[in-house]
């Protein structure tokens, strides 16, 4: 009887591990809903930027179509999608902007709003933020 219980425990652990490994092999790109959902997030983000007078100041001279294309590529690539990012480095993109920590955080809030409007579950939002927020150092205080 003890041997049977040990076997059941081992099989349960192995099965649980297999499920966790299988779940973790799904890319954030797929969890987001693929390219169409990323496009929706980016479009929502652009609208959020346009509505925010503080953050809009950083983008008022931007080529919106290029921003849309490059941000979509960037998100697609870094979340495990099939895209290749063809834009500049984050440092180069943000050079001269001198983004403050407060404004960076405000931009993250706008991105969260954009994901919320695209019906991205909080769990997946957090996964995406975990990918991009570490890039913060490449974006803030770049005179």
Is 122 a known ligand-binding residue? no
| Distance of alpha carbon 130 from alpha carbon 123, whole angstroms | 11
| Distance of alpha carbon 110 from alpha carbon 44, whole angstroms | 9
| Distance of alpha carbon 16 from alpha carbon 12, whole angstroms | 6
Query: Is the C-alpha dihedral spanning 46, 73, 112, 110 positive or negative?
Result: negative
Binding residues: 94
Binding residues for heme: 94
């Amino acid at each position: 009887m003890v041997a049977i219980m040990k076997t059941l425990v081992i099989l349960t652990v192995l099965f649980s591990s297999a499920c966790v490994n299988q779940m973790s092999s799904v890319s954030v790109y797929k969890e987001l809903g693929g390219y169409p959902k990323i496009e929706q997030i980016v479009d929502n983000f652009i609208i959020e930027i346009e509505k925010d007078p503080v953050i809009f100041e950083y983008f008022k001279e931007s080529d919106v179509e290029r921003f849309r294309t490059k941000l979509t590529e960037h998100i697609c690539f870094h979340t495990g999608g099939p895209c290749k990012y063809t834009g500049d480095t984050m440092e180069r993109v943000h050079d001269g902007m001198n983004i403050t920590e407060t404004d960076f955080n405000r931009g993250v809030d706008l991105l969260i709003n954009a994901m919320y409007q695209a019906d991205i579950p909080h769990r997946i939002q957090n996964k995406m933020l975990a990918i991009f927020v570490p890039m913060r150092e490449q974006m803030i205080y770049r005179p």
